[in-house]
Amino acid sequence: MAEFSFTEEQQALRAAVRKFCSENFDEATVRRLMESAPAYDPAVWRRLGSELGVLGMAVPEADGGVGGSLVDQAVAVEEFGATLACGPLFGTVYLAIPALVACPASTERDELLGALVEGERTAAFEPQPVDVSGGKLTGTAPRVVDASAADVLLIAARGSDGPGLYAVDLAGPGVRHEPLVTMDLTRPQARITLDSAPGALLAGPDEAERVITHAVQIGSALLAVEQVGAAQHLLDVSVEYAKSRLQFGRQIGSFQAIKHKLADMLVDLEHARSAAYHAVWALSDASDDPALATSIAQAISSAALSRIAADAIQVHGGIGFTWEHQAHLYFKRAATDAALLGSAEQHRGVVADLVLDTAIAHSGAVKVAAG
């Protein structure tokens, strides 16, 4: 039953990260940062790494990390999601750091991983491959999350020797940035065009596929946990509003329609929380198929946050539709997150393929045994 409880240390970690986020990612600060370039505060980012140590919670101590578990990292990520914390979390923490941990040791890998964990550098990650020849990369990554805030791009590439994962200096030669207009201003994206840009090989043909798959699975699980954090915040503010808003001389929370909506939001949230943390625990102890667990988590959490964000606006009524209210920020985050690593529909398709393939194989084995 250890999977379904948090330790005292994890509860203390949650409290510390929540306090930090309340002081550094309040609504006014988030609105200011999302309009700036880059859309985060580098000094606060460095504090997340050096002071709190929450950028590399699951990185082994030998690699410069805290040496904690993926569950520890998820606890911190949930609090980031609750406040829409601005910074290259998706590219750096969810994807690039797990990829580097899975890469073979090398000078380039070790130095970059240490700098990312400490908050001294930032990264973006692109699993769709470009072309590589002689260590020079050419191609376009049409939508890279956090690219405008990243120092380094970890990108897949295919060459005559097979696939590889490379690190590209985004301020180096042969790199062109094109900021994109996106729905969620707290999580900017950019088109990155590489024209014979030099890259450092992090994982060769024998390792690249495993490393990229591992990173995407970790990223999917952490993104699901982030969605849970955002959903919990929306439920909390909706309940408080339902208690304080009066209509016809009564709290709107006393009306059956609002009660039912809040109850449905809670059910969606708890369903998502169970699926997201199950995926995190499964990746930590290999207790379940990681592809299945992460796709279930993404399918459930993406849909849950989208519904909860829409319902939160309905509970708040007219004020919830305005630019001045925070609900629309979460609504846009929900819509964006639901497409980053595959839509809920795509993940349900993956789950169906995995489950049906297993069921068919099992059925065939039973028939053979019976025969």
125-182 pLDDT, tens per residue? 999 999 999 999 999 999 999 999 999 999 999 999 999 999 999 999 999 999 999 9
Token code pair at residue 127: 């699993």
pLDDT at 357: 64
What DSSP string describes 82-121?
Answer: HHT--SSHIIIIIIIHHHHHHSPP-HHHHHHHHHHHHTSS
> Does the fold of domain 209-366 match that of domain 2-206?
no
pLDDT at 250: 87
336-to-82, 156, 186, 187, 340 alpha-carbon distances in Å: 15, 23, 10, 9, 7
Q: Is the pLDDT of residue 260 over 90?
A: yes
pLDDT in tens, 28-47: 999 999 999 899 999 999 99
pLDDT in tens, 198-250: 999 999 999 999 999 999 999 999 999 999 999 999 999 999 999 988 788 88
Contacts of residue 293, Cβ cutoff 8 Å, sequence gap at least 6: 221, 278, 279, 282, 283
- Nearest alpha carbon to residue 316 among 330, 337, 335, 334: 330
- Nearest alpha carbon to residue 86 among 117, 41, 22: 41
Homologous superfamily of domain range 2-206:
Acyl-CoA dehydrogenase/oxidase, N-terminal domain (1.10.540.10)
CB count, 10 Å around CB of 195? 13
**Residue 56 has what DSSP assignment?**
S
Element (H, E) at 238: helix 208-244
Q: Which residue has the higher pLDDT, 3 or 338?
A: 338
**Residue 41 has what DSSP assignment?**
-
Bridge partners of residue 141, in order along the sequence: 192
pLDDT at 359: 57
Return the top range by mean pLDDT from 135-144, 278-287, 315-324: 135-144
Amino acid at 149: A
Architecture of domain 209-366 in CATH? Up-down Bundle (1.20)
pLDDT in tens, 62-105: 888 888 999 999 999 999 999 999 999 999 999 999 999 999 99
CA distance 109 to 104: 8
Domain residue spans in the chain?
2-206, 209-366
- Nearest alpha carbon to residue 197 among 232, 166, 162, 173: 173
Instruction: Report percent pLDDT > 90 for the chain.
Output: 80
Q: Is the pLDDT of residue 334 over 90?
A: yes
CB 219 within 8 A of CB 94: yes
